[in-house]
Amino acid sequence: MSQGPPTRSRFSPAAPRGVMRGVRMLSTGRWRPPLGPAPLVGRRAPRLIAVGAAAPGAGKSVVASNLAVAMAGLGRHVLLVDLDVSAPRLHTLFGVAAPNGDPRPTQVRNLNVAPATPELRAAADADARRVAIDRLIETPADVVIVDVGGDQRDDLWNAFAAAERLIVTNGDDESLRATYDFFREAARRAERRHGAGAQAALARFTGGLIGNAVAQPEDAERFHAFARMVREELGIPLVALGCLRKSGRIAQSVLMGRPLVSRRGIDDDVRLFHHLAEVLAVDQATEEGCALDGPAPEPTGAPGPQSDVGRYQRKHPRFVVDWAATLATNAGPNAVRVCDISESGAAVETTLKLGVGDQGALCFYQLPGQPSVDVMVRNVVPGLNRLGLAFVEGGPVAAELARAARERAAAP
């Protein structure tokens, strides 16, 4: 394939731009240090991560267990707590006997699993549950990951103000409607509790959305569109952190009693859990947090979105990648990690402090020909050190990048 004459902008690195050939995914490796501030150094209390769902069967226990394994692999002492009083199952995902009150070690180094405490099982109301859950911070662990029971999902609002809240959902209309109603309840709780300061409280919401059972790479865009809808309509800074594929390996790991991340072999789902662990290892939550406790608001009776998600979907679907690149700005070149890409832009992780409208050139130095594209910052997610970059111009380079990412995402 012939290439045209090289063109450069004032941001472009030395490598010429051109249409590339034979692009393949080049991972930066299985274990990588998180970007940003040093994680969990000198913390007096453990880091709290609460994993919940708005609808049954979303896969929150699978997410919690595999995330715990990935966090333990980063050298953290992790306690995985099962808050499902009626049907605890986390111990089965590790193939160990049901814990009898005390935390039970698993086959994973640095990782213990614990049931709901007797005080929590005996709690008669939300206040008593909150007192019991608050005692989790007294545990001698670096990270406490809590699998919130499906029948006690109000715990996400009542007991975890300063925690990372991860919401797991499938992509079908019913699941997304339930999840939208879930976040709408959060917005109404904020209005009732904080009054004029509701939006400021919601702006402190940390965590994100995990999509589950994605059949095709293009389906992941539905979760990103849903997150945009929640941000714009409810004022909650929700970010789609990643999507799990509809995979037989996950089902097999459940039957084997061994989380996917602890098994041999690496696929996109394993990479996602490692990536989540790195992102969540960076101290994002504030001491003030996003407090939404109190009685549940009365239902409004208004249905959740029916087809509104489609209005927020982009013309060009994005595809998850793990590419190393250089973002050249007026301050000079800086290494970044490319998380996803489409024909219209890319999402990157970086410690650069850029704002919406800033420009630069993104050079994929690991790829053949070191293709470079001019970019503009479209959005900034400070808590995740993530920038959304729009390609200033499309053209053959952007099309080839998207094609390579699509082929890589579709590979078994």
288's tokens: 């003030």
Confidence class for position 320, pLDDT limits 50, 70, 90: confident
Ranges 41-50, 100-109, 201-210, 238-247: which has the least confidence: 41-50
Q: 324 near 335, Cβ under 8 Å?
A: yes
Q: Residue 42 — left, alpha, or beta (φ > 0 → left; ψ -120 to 50 → alpha)?
A: left
- In this predicted structure, the answer to whether residue 36 has a pLDDT above a threshold of 70 is no
**Residue from 119, 104, 108, 94 nearest 256 by CA:** 94
Fold match between 47-312 and 319-410?
Answer: no
**Residue from 101, 102, 157 nearest 129 by CA:** 157
Residue 402, helix vs strand vs coil: helix
The per-residue pLDDT for 303 is 53
Confidence class for position 86, pLDDT limits 50, 70, 90: confident
Confidence class for position 20, pLDDT limits 50, 70, 90: very low
- In this predicted structure, the answer to whether residue 237 has a pLDDT above a threshold of 70 is yes
Residue 102 vs residue 220, higher pLDDT: 220
The per-residue pLDDT for 245 is 87
Residue 312, helix vs strand vs coil: helix
Q: What is the DSSP string of 61-88?
A: HHHHHHHHHHHHHTT--EEEEE--SSS-
Query: What's the CATH number for 47-312?
Result: 3.40.50.300
Fold classification of 319-410 (topology level):
Thrombin, subunit H (2.40.10)
- In this predicted structure, the answer to whether residue 30 has a pLDDT above a threshold of 80 is no
Residue type, 378: R
pLDDT tens for each residue of 153-206: 788 888 888 889 999 999 998 999 999 999 999 999 999 999 999 999 999 998
Residue 261 vs residue 403, higher pLDDT: 261
d(CA 219, CA 243): 9
SS3 percent helix, strand, coil of the chain, rounded to 5, is 35, 20, 45
Average of per-residue pLDDT values in the chain: 82
The per-residue pLDDT for 309 is 83
- In this predicted structure, the answer to whether residue 8 has a pLDDT above a threshold of 50 is no
Q: What is the DSSP string of 181-221?
A: HHHHHHHHHHHHHHGGGHHHHHTT--EEEEEEEE-SGGGHH
Confidence class for position 37, pLDDT limits 50, 70, 90: very low
Question: CA torsion angle for 341, 346, 351, 357 (degrees, to 10)?
Answer: 180
**Domain ranges, ordered by start, for the chain:** 47-312, 319-410
pLDDT tens for each residue of 49-81: 999 999 888 999 999 999 999 999 999 999 999
Strand arrangement, sheet containing 207-214: 104-105, 111-114, 78-82, 143-147, 47-53, 164-170, 207-214, 240-245
- In this predicted structure, the answer to whether residue 5 has a pLDDT above a threshold of 60 is no
Mean of pLDDT values over 42-48: 68
Confidence class for position 115, pLDDT limits 50, 70, 90: confident
Ranges 31-40, 222-231, 317-326: which has the least confidence: 31-40
- In this predicted structure, the answer to whether residue 300 has a pLDDT above a threshold of 80 is no
Please count the residues of the chain.
Answer: 412
